[in-house]
Structure 1
Amino acid sequence: MDRLSELAKSKAAVIFTKSSCCMCHSISTLFYDLGASPAVYELDQEARGREMEWALQRLGCSPTVPAVFIGGKFVGSAKDVLGAHLNGSLRDMLIEAKAIWF
């Protein structure tokens, strides 16, 4: 859990993914399209990825990936991020966390 928390705060926008997950790719692409450059951690490529996935489950991530953190705070999974994008709050969160500038 400490490693997960440390990584979640390592950059303004952080996405935990798996390399085989199409929604993970879509969420990462959305962030790039908005002008953000998130830290992307592929749990299936991380040495302690299984432990981090369990920690995400304990946070309430279901499914565990993609799991998005902005400004060190847990935003949610793909459904939550897409909802925030549609209502305009995702961009505001990214601006507030200084992940993008306008």
Structure 2
Amino acid sequence: MSAAKTKAEGIIADNSVVVFSKSYCPYCRATKDLLNEQGASFYTLELDQVEDGAAIQDALQEISSQRTVPNIFISQKHIGGNSDLQARKAELPALLKAAGAIKA
């Protein structure tokens, strides 16, 4: 297994909410804004700001069958991208609470 895949899987395993992002991506910004509006604590990895970002993006394709960003995981489950997250807005508070990402 590649080091990048091990790293990506470790980040997903260690954090209840993860956003693999790129700092200049408007869809990534929309995702982070929505999570912040919900009061969620989440881990963000800006793939354009880390040396192994391209390799991690390739590994995410293997893990989730999605190469694009944002690539979102809640409770170690792949949610999808920004449009998938926005489509689940109504259930998001419950998902985040179950993940322990929101203080009750």
TM (normalized to structure 1)? 0.89
Size of the aligned set, in residue pairs, is: 99
Letter in 2 for 1:94: L
Alignment-derived partner of residue 23 in structure 1? 27
CA RMSD of aligned residues (A): 1.2
Provide TM-score, normalisation by structure 2: 0.88
Write the letter of the residue equivalent to 2:73: F
Q: Which runs of 5+ in 2 are unaligned?
A: none
* Structure 1 gap segments, 5+ residues each: none
Q: Which runs of 4+ in 1 moved over 4 A?
A: none
Matched residue, 2:73: 69
Q: Which amino acid in structure 2 is aligned with residue 80 of structure 1?
A: D
Equivalence map 1:79-98=2 (5 Å): 79-85=83-89, 88-98=90-100
- How much does 1:75 deviate? 1.0
Identical-pair percentage:
31
Task: Provide, for residues 57-89 of structure 1, a one-character-per-residue CA deviation record: whole Å limited to 9, x for no partner.
Answer: 222215x1001111122111111101111xx22
CA distance in 2, matches of 1:91, 1:55: 29
Q: Which residue of 2 aligns with 1:99?
A: 101
